[in-house]
Structure 1
């Protein structure tokens, strides 16, 4: 069952996804840092854009828009901390 679910996702995408999720768990345990979490989401959405660009172009464009939103939010959050 899991093989049929994950066959649409390349191995590099699953590795990036796993690393970002492990990072989220570590951030939840050690203390939430919103700037780092939003940076993780940016990495995840960039990887999703690369994965989906050939077959699902509109999904790639939506992911790029979300990267810009998270980049702006990260910048605002980072500047508010200073």
Structure 2
């Protein structure tokens, strides 16, 4: 397992389920969400911004309209 770097700079264990839930909450089809989450090319210390950008790119390749929904889907507020 590897870590992900949050906007606050805090590192935590990567949880693929969070990405899947985020995509599903934004209306992305289950099959698309699983395909995108499995193809991101994660690495230790990847930032949440990098993950988000890769997710958006992956969704755009499969469901362009869903990518717009994901981009406009509200993110959790930055906590310090």
Q: Same fold (TM over 0.5)?
A: no
Greater share of strand residues, 1 or 2?
2
Q: Which of the five TM-score ranges fits, normalised by the shorter chain?
A: 0.3 to 0.5
Based on CA coordinates, which of the two structures has the bigger radius of gyration? 1
Give the TM-score normalised by the residue count of structure 1. Answer: 0.33
Greater RCO (CA < 8 Å, at least 6 residues apart): 2
